[in-house]
Chains A and B, each alone.
Chain A
Amino acid sequence: MIAEDLNVFKKFTPKTLPKEEPLVFGHRACQGCGEVLALRMVAKAIGSPMVIVSATGCMEIISSPYPQTAWAVPWIHVAFENAAAVASGVEVGLKTLMAKGRIPEKKITVVAFAGDGGTADIGLQSLSGALERGHDFVYVCLDNEAYMNTGIQRSSSTPFGAMTTTSPAGKITAGQTTWKKNLPAIAAAHNIPYVATASPAYYLDLMNKAKKAAMIKGPAYLHVYSPCPTGWRHGTDLAIEVSRLVVETNIFPLYEVMEGKYLVRKNTKPKPVEEYLKQQRRFSHLTPDLIQIIQKRVDAEYERLLKLEGMTAKAESKEGPKEEVKEE
């Protein structure tokens, strides 16, 4: 039960943030990369001892240019679609070796990192398999809303209307024509103990969620919003600003699903979506009509989330979680 797992959970405060940097400077991420910042925060919050499994993507490329590695912790990259499968093998391997007394028994957190492409598209199968099998690991989707490493192509996590090279703003279609795939819902549908969304602007919330995810036995899924100044075409200094606006507009609400119970961070006076969209040139082609469509859908999705919270609060759960998501 996660209440037991979280018995000793103590929230991070600004003064008690861990100083360990599992990822060191010298990595080759772009100026102002929101994803590497998110990665840094999650890895810091979880802390050693851990083993990281990375899918192919920006984070893997910028952190492991042979002969250099920016990783101060054990790290493995195998392929694009199998971070969750490799992590499954790592987790089971470690457990078995400990059970057989071949390595000392201690808690080693297995963390899989993948982008939105490596999670929502090509990686969805192995993620689903790992979640269903109940491996004790943390899966982190660093969502920069496109296949950025290969040059900004759309993924199923690209938001409606966003321009990418394969969802260009053309004469006939204007940007992404489908709504962003709801990965946290897919993860939650596997009935895993913990699902959470996070944004690097709300760093305490993010790091506390990462810490919880690591403490909870069984699979935990973190969906972390990760701005990409290069792909989203915004200023290099705006990653945190944009990460804040995405939450303030309810485009990316912060919530947790703990043993099926939804806990949503309330935002009753959201800013209009336009404030978020106008910051990024990937949305500059949007007409007022399209922006209206986005606004309506964002509001509807947020309402739906609140309804889920209400519904699952009444649902029978053996033990309620101790921690509530509070406003920062």
Chain B
Amino acid sequence: MAQRRGMEVSIAVSEAVKLANVDVISAYPITPQTHIVEHLSELVADGELKAAFIPVESEHSALSAAVGAAAVGARAYTATSSQGLALMHEIMFIASGLRLPMVMTVVNRALSTPINIWNDLSDIMAERDTGWVQLFAINGQEAVDLTLQAFKIAEDSRVLLPVVVNLDGFILSHVIEPVEMPDQEQVDRFLPVFNPALRLDPDHPVSLGAFGSPDVYMEVKKQLEEALIGSQKVITEVWKDFGILFGRSYKPVESYRTKGAETLLLTMGSITETAMMAVDALREKGQKVGLIHLRLWRPFPFKEFFQAIREAKVLAVVDRALTPGGMGGPVGLEIKSALFEKTDRPYVAAFIAGLGGRDLTQEIFTEMVEKANRYARKKKEMRYEMIGVREK
């Protein structure tokens, strides 16, 4: 019987990696991911986790070593944040392009400059186009569950893509949350031993990472695209299996009090739970407000998104990253582009808030809802608005 106990989320994630029976961990420390790699290091040193821990000399090498390990058929894991993820950027495309399953935890932290160790989503948003499956946890339990699911999704023969599980730096990674850790037997039933489709094997030599001319490049990208889009079906199956085995179910787009809601907040990551409190307070006052949050970012769950917003008149999108000189935030951009094909669509108020760890309080969510409603009433043409920047 699984036990529910208070755990620091980083530690819980490491324990999930241990339960997943990884083979190779290659990691480089960076705040606020460090507790994950430190705990994993301890587990390996104590013989509790039968994996090899490679203390690499940079994040670029961390991902490179994970690629090498996955290429020989080992279950590989790494974790990073911010600048470390940015340093991995080159290899991100290669890992997915080579169709190597692996899992990475990104503990979301703002990208320099200025150097800032606090939470926003700029690090992962810069990796949007890398071909990885991208999931977002909003609390400690989800961080654990998504990590376990990530391996299963990645290794499915219909997917064979690396998966990133995002959790917010400090505000999730370093807090103690109630977590029900599954037991090893349950996880073993859920997650079979990794059986690679392709691996470097002297008995069956293959060449990976060939030189591809214009004659083949587009076909390879098409294959990748189809695999990433197709992974949603597998993700749904995995979530169903997980629900049956562990009693917790997940959806690509989660709805909170959306029934009868005219205005919806759209969030990602752990700020969702603060936003939910704002929704509760507004509902108390009789306002028809709800919230949806994206658990699945890539592949983008178009169908589920349209379904979730079908009753809404106003959508307040909360971005925690900036795409300078453009549409404001990457999520706002994605939402508006997705809605472009629809003739009947809600008013979208795109906000950017909480960059570089700037606190996102319940009041700010309330402010965003109020503004969104006001702008919608006035039919204001807005591209986006940055919340909370000091003007004077």
Residues of B within 8 A of A81 (CB): 60
Contacts of B236 in A (CB 8 A): none
User: Do A85 and B61 touch across chains, with their CB atoms under 8 A apart?
Assistant: yes
Please tell me if the beta carbons of A75 and B208 are within 8 angstroms of each other in the complex: yes
* A83 nearest CB neighbor, chain B only: B64
Interface centre among B24, B65, B205 (most CB of A within 10 A): B65
- Whether B57 and A126, one on each chain, are in contact in the complex, defined by CB atoms closer than 8 angstroms, is yes
In the complex, identify which listed stretch (A94-102, A245-253, A303-311) lies at the interface while the others stay far away: A94-102
User: Which residues of A sit under 8 angstroms from B200, Cβ to Cβ?
Assistant: 51, 74-76, 90
Q: Are B65 and A74 in contact (CB under 8 A)?
A: no
Q: Measured between C-beta atoms, what is the minimum distance from A130 to chain B in Å?
A: 8
Assess whether A78 is in contact with B74, with CB atoms less than 8 Å apart: no
CA distance A71 to B209 in the complex (A): 12
Interface residues on A, range: 35 or more
B66, B68, B94, B208 — most chain A CB neighbours (10 Å)? B68
Q: Are A86 and B73 in contact (CB under 8 A)?
A: no
B382 within 8 A of A: no
Residues of B within 8 A of A75 (CB): 200, 205-208
Complex CA–CA separation, A73 to B201 (angstroms): 8
Question: At the interface, yes or no: B52 with Cβ under 8 Å from chain A?
Answer: yes
Q: Is B142 in the interface zone, CB < 8 Å from A?
A: no
A53 at the interface (CB under 8 A from B): yes
Task: Please determine whether A90 and B69 come into contact, CB atoms closer than 8 angstroms.
Answer: yes
List the A side residues contacting B71 at CB < 8 Å: 76, 86, 89-90, 93
The stretch of A59-67, A203-211, A279-287 in contact with B is A59-67
Chain B residues with CB under 8 Å of A125's CB are 57-58, 61
Q: Is the CB of B51 within 8 A of A96?
A: yes
> Given that A81-B60, A85-B64 are contacting pairs, would A95 and B52 also be in contact in the complex, using a CB cutoff of 8 Å?
yes
Cα–Cα distance between A86 and B60 once the two chains are bound (Å): 10
Decide if B210 touches A93 in the complex (CB within 8 Å). no
> Is A82 a contact partner of B74 (Cβ separation < 8 A)?
no
Chain B CB count within 10 A is highest, among A66, A108, A125, for: A66
Contacting residue for B205 out of A73, A88, A133, CB 8 A: A73
Contact assessment for B94 and A78 in the assembled complex, using a CB-CB cutoff below 8 Å: yes
Chain B, 201-215, CB within 8 A of any chain A CB: 201-203, 205-213
Cα distance A125–B206 in the bound complex, in angstroms? 28
Which chain A residues in 40-87 approach chain B with CB under 8 Å?
A: 48-51, 53-54, 60-61, 64-67, 69, 71-79, 81-82, 85-87
Q: Answer whether residue B120 sits at the interface, using C-beta atoms and an 8 A cutoff.
A: no
On whether the beta carbons of A66 and B213 are closer than 8 Å, the reply is yes
Contact residue among A60, A86, A87, A133 (Cβ-Cβ distance under 8 Å from B55) = A133
> Would you list which residues of chain B between 46 and 63 have a CB under 8 Å from chain A?
50-52, 54-58, 60-61
**B193 on the interface (CB 8 Å rule)?**
yes
- Using known A-B contacts A51-B202, A66-B212, determine if residue A92 contacts B64 with beta carbons closer than 8 Å: no
- B226 at the binding interface (Cβ < 8 Å): no
**Chain A window 98-118, contacts with chain B (Cβ cutoff 8 Å), 1 for yes, 0 for no:** 011011000010000000000
Answer yes or no: B216 CB below 8 A from chain A CBs.
yes
Taking a contact as CB atoms under 8 Å apart, the answer to whether A92 and B24 are in contact is yes
Q: Are B68's CB and A85's CB within 8 A?
A: yes
Shortest Cβ distance from B50 into A: residue: A100
Contacts of B179-216 to chain A: CB distance below 8 A = 193, 200-203, 205-213, 216
Contact of B72 (CB < 8 Å), options: A50, A51, A60, A66: A51
Interface assignment of A129: CB less than 8 Å from any CB of chain B: yes
Contacts of B201 in A (CB 8 A): 74, 103
**A179 shortest CB reach to chain B, Å:** 26
Q: How many Å from the CB of A83 to the closest CB on chain B?
A: 9
A89 with B26: CB separation less than 8 A = yes
Contacts of A76 in B (CB 8 A): 68, 71, 200, 207-209
Give, as a whole number of angstroms, the nearest-CB distance from B161 to chain A: 16
**A312 at the binding interface (Cβ < 8 Å):** no
Measured CA separation A48–B204 after assembly (Å): 12
Known: A75-B205, A100-B23, A126-B57. A90 touches B64 (CB 8 A): no
C-alpha spacing A108/B199, complex, angstroms: 14
Contact between chains at A128 and B210 (CB < 8 Å):
no
In the docked arrangement, what's the CA distance between A92 and B58, Å? 17
Residues of B within 8 A of A95 (CB): 52
Q: Name the residue among B55, B64, B98, B201 with the largest chain A CB count within 10 angstroms.
A: B64
27 contacts between A and B (CB under 8 A): A61-B211, A66-B216, A71-B205, A72-B205, A77-B210, A78-B67, A81-B60, A82-B61, A85-B61, A88-B68, A89-B54, A89-B64, A89-B67, A89-B71, A91-B68, A92-B52, A92-B68, A92-B74, A93-B76, A94-B72, A96-B74, A97-B23, A97-B74, A100-B23, A103-B73, A125-B61, A126-B58
The 5 tightest CB contacts between A and B, nearest first, are: A89-B68, A129-B57, A89-B65, A49-B202, A77-B209
